[in-house]
Amino acid sequence: MAIWGEESVLSELHSSFRNAKTFVKISQGMKDRGPKRDPKQCRVKLKDLRQAYQRGRAPNMLLL
């Protein structure tokens, strides 16, 4: 998860709609640190994390 939180990776993910190169970079970084994931697996994981965050956040928006 440390790779996902790096400032350069986050800025790349926020600045472009086509993130294929960014996910290749993330998968390479993960491969160097242990778990072997391909870029598609990294993309799906991030997508699932974002959706879970939004689902958890939505009920709290009613309180504002």
pLDDT of residue 44: 93
Task: Write b or e for each residue in 17-43: b if 16 or more Cβ atoms lie within 10 A of its Cβ, otherwise e.
Answer: eebeebbebbbebbeeeeeebebeebb
pLDDT tens-digit map of 1-57: 566 567 777 777 767 677 788 888 888 888 888 888 899 998 899 889 889 988 888
User: What residue segments make up the domains of the chain, in order of their start?
Assistant: 7-61
pLDDT of residue 21: 83
